[in-house]
Amino acid sequence: MYNVIKKLLTFPRRRKEVLPFTVLFKKFQDILENNNLILELMADMGDKLGGEYVFDRRYIEEAAEKVGDHVFKLISGLSILTQRKNVELFVAFERIRQAIQGELSGRHFLPSGNLVLPLGELSSEMSEQVGDKMAKLGDIHNRLALTTPDGFVITTQAFFEFMKQKGLLEKAEQAALHWDAGDDAAFEQVADAMQKSILSTPVPRHLSAQIFAQFDALAERMQRSQLALSIRSSGWGEGEDTSFAGQYASLLNASPDQLIDGYRQVVASAYSFKAWSYRLNKGYQEHETAMAVGCQVMVESAVSGVLHTYAPDTAEGAMVANALWGLCAPVVEGNRRTDTIIIDRTPPYVIRSSNVVEKPQRLVAAPGGGVAWEDNPVELHAVPSLSKEQLQELSQTAMRIERYYKRPQEIEWTFDSSGQLQILQTRALRFRKTHAAPKPQVLEAVRDAEIIFSDKGFVVQRGVGIGKIFMVESDADLKVFPYGAIMLVRYTSPRYSSIMHKARGIITDVGSPTGHMASLAREYRVPTIVDTEVATSLLQTGDEVTLDATQNIVYRGNISALDRFELTEDEVFEDFYEYRLLRRLLKHISPLNLLDAQNENFTPAACRTFHDITRYIHEKAVEELIHLSEKKGAQHLSAPKKLIADIPLGLMVIDAGGGTSCPPDARVVTPDQIVSLPLRDFLSGLNESGMWCTKPVDVDLGSFMASLTRTFPSSMASPKEIGRNLAVVLENYMNINMRLGYHFTIIDAYISDTINDNSIYFRFLGGVTEFIRRSRRAKFIAQVLTHFDFRVEVHGDLVIGRVKKLSRSRMTERIRILGGLVGYTRQLDTQMHSDKDVAMHVQQFLDVVHHVIGGV
C-alpha cells in the first residue's frame, strides 16, 4: 500500500534532456498505435486457427515477422518517451524472437531443460515433443478437464540425446538400408543387435536426474511415497494416421527403480523386428522415428475396457463398449471374451443391447510388480461389469472427446477402485474406405431444413453443433448449464470458459471474433458464431437447433447428417502441420502472463511473450505520460487553463492539441470550449451526478457543490496542490488527475470511432475514514465498475478499473458514468455503516444511472 502511494505521489527521475511535450505525446500516441496494431495482428493470427481462413506457410512467416517488427518499434518508442535504453526489454524481445525463429525452422524443442515434462504441461500441439499418445492425454487432462492417471513424459528430445550415444541413430539409419535390400534375415539380426545395444547403453546422467526429479514431484502430487507406474511408448505417428497399437512395449506396475531400465526397454521396442518392419512397411522414413515414453501412476482398475464412439459395422448411430473386470490390457489385446454394450451416440445415451459374458478371471497388479491373473469372486462371473450410471458417464465423456477431436475415437478407459473414470488413451478411429459411411451431400441434407438465420455475424470456430439452446443471462445460469446444450448469450465474455467443455456450440448477439472468448472457443474447438445481432430475439432456451458454424447457418431441429459429414471428413484442419505450427508460434506471441501491474513480477525480465512486452510498455507509457503531465517534465507545455464551470472543480486543463477551442495562451476555458470528447462527457456525467448525490448523501445541491471545494487534510497533500486538479486533453483523449473531497482519482481515456483504440483506465484511492469504511467504498466502486464491464482490481482502498475496445457510444456512456461515480463517491465513505450499505448504494447508483443515462 505504502509503495502504491509512493508511486503515485513521487517522481524521482531526472531527465537528461527535456523534449517538447508535443513530441513526447506524439511518441505516446505512436506507442498506442503500435500497441493496437500488435493486438490486432495477434488477434488476426488467432483468428486463422478457427478454420474459416485458408492460409499457407508464407502467411505464418510474414505475420510472425510483422508482429515482431511492431514489438521492436514499440520498445524503441518507449525508449524515446522515457529516454532510457530499455536493454532488458530488448533482451526479452530477442529471446522470444529466437524461439519463434526456432519454431519456424522446425526446431520445436526448447533449447534446454525439457527432456522430461509433467502431464500438466502437455497438449496436442506438442506431439512432436512428447508423442501423440501423451500429447492427447495432455488435452484430456488440461483442456477437457477429464481424469487421466497423473504422470510425466520423457520427451523425444531425450530420445535423441540418448540415441546419439554410441552412434545408435546412425546405426538405425544403416539398418534400414538392409530392409530396402529386401534381406529379411539380415534385417532381423540387425534389429536384435540394435535392441541389445540400446538396452546396454547408459542413460545420460542429466537425463536420469530429470526423470527422478519428475518422479519425486509426481509422488509429492500424489502424496504417496510408494508409487507403481505404467511405462508406455508414445512414439511419433503412434495413434495418428497409422495404428501402431501393440507394436511397442509397455511395462505395467513398475517400481521406481525400474524407471531407467523400463525407459530403455520401451525405446528398444521401437527396434524390434516386428515393430521396425511394420513401420518401414507402412512407408515411414527412419528419420521419422522418435520415441517419447510416458510414465503414469498405475491405476487400481475395478473395471476397464475400450469404447468406439462410432461403429458403423456394428450398428448405425451407436457406440460400442467392451469391458472386463480388472486391468484394461486383455481388452486391448482382444484375447478374452468381454461384455459388449451398444449405446446410442446421442443423449440420453440409451443402451440398445448388452451382451454379458462369463468373466471367471481378471488381470490385476501383482504384489511384487508386473501383472497377474486372479480368479474373480463367483458372484462377479456372470453380472454386467458396468453399471448404467457408469455407462452414462462413459458415454458422455467419450462424446466429449470425440467432439474435441472431431473424429470417431477409440478410447481406453478404466473405473478405478474409487469409482473414478480414468482415460488411459484415445486415438482416432479410421475406417477402411469400403466400410466408411457414404458421404452425405451437404446440400441434400439441408434441402428441407428450416433456416432460422444465416450469414449473421462472424464464424469464430468452424464446426457443427446440435443441441438445445440454453440462454445464459447470469452466473447462476452458468452453474446449471446442461451438458450438450448450445449456449446463447447477449455478449461474449471470457467468463464462459467455465462451461466450454459442456457446450456443443456458442451463439452471441454482440461480440468480436478476436476477443478472449473467441480464443477460448478455438482452444476448446466449440463451434461458435458471434455478433449475430439477432440470435437472442430468434432463439430461446429449449429450442433444438443445428448450429452449422462452417456454413454460418442456424437450422431448426436436429440435422444429424451435417454432423456426420463433419465426422467423416478426410482431414481435420486442426491436425494440419501449418495449424500446429501457427498454434505453436502463437504460444510465444499471445498469452498474457503479466497481468497485474502492481505485482513485483511486472518486469521486462518476466516477459515471456510479445503480448507481455506490449502490455508492459503500455503500462509504462501511460505511467510516463502521467508523470510528464503531473510534473511538467516537458518543454512548451501549453499554458494550463483554469476551467470556469458551475461545479467548482479547480480543474487546470492542458491542451496538448485539439482538446479545446480557445486560444493557446488563454488562461481560462469554459465548458463549451472543451472539445475533448472524454472530458466533455466526464464533466456532463459529473454534472448529472450532482442531482443524484443529494439522495444518498442527504445534502442539498448547494452544500454538495460546496463540499467539492473542501480543502484537503494536510496528510494527503501539500498546501500547494490543494484545489489544483489537472487534465491533459486532446480531441479524443484525456488524462485527468483529480482530488475531490478526500479521494484521489486518475482517469486515462481515449475515445474515438476506432473501437480498438478505445480505452478507459480508472484509478481511485484515498479517503479519511477508518479503513473498513474505505474498503466498503472500494467494494462499492468495484461492483459498479464490474457492472459496466470494467476489469477491476481492488487492493484495499485502491481500485483500478479498465475497459477497452467498446464502441464510441458505449465508451461515452462509461465515461459519463465515471463522472457520476466520482461525484457520488465524493464523501460516500461517511455513509458506509455496514456491508449491507454497499449493495444498497450499488442499486441506488445503478437506478439513477439507468434513469439519467438510459439503457446501458
Which residue number, 205 or 447, has a Cβ lying nearer to another protein?
A: 447
Provide Rg for the chain, Cα atoms.
32
The answer to whether 347 and 401 are in contact (CB under 8 A) is no
The C-alpha cell that represents 410 in the structure block: 477409440
Nearest distance in Å: CB 569, another protein: 6
Nearest distance in Å: CB 579, another protein: 8
Which residue number, 81 or 446, has a Cβ lying nearer to another protein?
A: 446
* Alpha carbon distance 809, 751 (integer Å): 9
Which residue number, 260 or 442, has a Cβ lying nearer to another protein?
A: 442
**Scanning the structure block, which residue is given the C-alpha cell 516477459?**
607
Nearest distance in Å: CB 436, another protein: 14
The C-alpha cell that represents 711 in the structure block: 480543502
Which residue number, 204 or 440, has a Cβ lying nearer to another protein?
A: 440
Nearest distance in Å: CB 442, another protein: 5
* Alpha carbon distance 433, 214 (integer Å): 43
The answer to whether 798 and 771 are in contact (CB under 8 A) is no
- Strand order in 409-416's β-sheet? 351-355, 339-344, 318-325, 301-308, 409-416, 421-428
Q: How many residues does the chain have?
A: 856
How distant, in Å, are the alpha carbons of 259, 737, 785, 835 from that of 762? 55, 10, 9, 23
Nearest distance in Å: CB 513, another protein: 11
Nearest distance in Å: CB 289, another protein: 23
Which residue number, 298 or 553, has a Cβ lying nearer to another protein?
A: 553
Nearest distance in Å: CB 400, another protein: 25
Which residue number, 55 or 160, has a Cβ lying nearer to another protein?
A: 55
Which residue number, 251 or 521, has a Cβ lying nearer to another protein?
A: 521
> Long-range contacts made by residues 241-245, C-beta under 8 angstroms, separation at least 24?
241/430, 242/282, 243/427, 243/430, 244/275, 244/278, 244/279, 245/332, 245/427
Longest distance between any two alpha carbons in the chain, whole Å:
104
Residue from 514, 580, 462 nearest 43 by CA: 514
Nearest distance in Å: CB 586, another protein: 15
Which residue number, 17 or 56, has a Cβ lying nearer to another protein?
A: 56
Nearest distance in Å: CB 805, another protein: 22
Nearest distance in Å: CB 438, another protein: 12
* Alpha carbon distance 39, 607 (integer Å): 16
Which residue number, 100 or 562, has a Cβ lying nearer to another protein?
A: 562
* Alpha carbon distance 99, 104 (integer Å): 9
Bridge-partner residues for 412, per DSSP? 306, 425
Nearest distance in Å: CB 551, another protein: 8
Which residue number, 54 or 476, has a Cβ lying nearer to another protein?
A: 54
How distant, in Å, are the alpha carbons of 692, 704, 774 from that of 833? 20, 20, 10
- Strand order in 791-795's β-sheet? 668-669, 641-643, 651-657, 725-730, 733-740, 743-750, 759-766, 798-804, 791-795
- Measured torsion, CA atoms of residues 777, 779, 780, 784, in degrees rounded to the nearest 10: 140
Which residue number, 54 or 185, has a Cβ lying nearer to another protein?
A: 54
Nearest distance in Å: CB 109, another protein: 23
* Alpha carbon distance 830, 850 (integer Å): 25
The answer to whether 306 and 331 are in contact (CB under 8 A) is yes
Rule CB under 8 A: which residues touch another protein? 48, 52-59, 62, 439, 441-444, 552, 565, 569-571, 573, 576-578
**Displacement of CA 775 from its chain's centroid (Å):** 32
Nearest distance in Å: CB 576, another protein: 6
Nearest distance in Å: CB 582, another protein: 11
Four-residue CA torsion sign, 805, 810, 816, 817: negative
The answer to whether 393 and 274 are in contact (CB under 8 A) is no
Cα angle vertex 320, ends 319, 324, to 5°?
145
Which residue number, 124 or 536, has a Cβ lying nearer to another protein?
A: 124
DSSP codes joined into one string, 141-180? HHTS------EEEE-HHHHHHHHHGGGHHHHHHHHHHHHH
Which residue number, 585 or 677, has a Cβ lying nearer to another protein?
A: 585
Nearest distance in Å: CB 145, another protein: 30
Number of neighbouring beta carbons within 10 Å of residue 6 = 10
Strands (E), 403-532: 409-416, 421-428, 451-454, 458-461, 464-471, 486-491, 505-510, 528-530
* Burial (Cβ within 10 Å: 0-12, 13-18, ≥19) of residue 485: buried
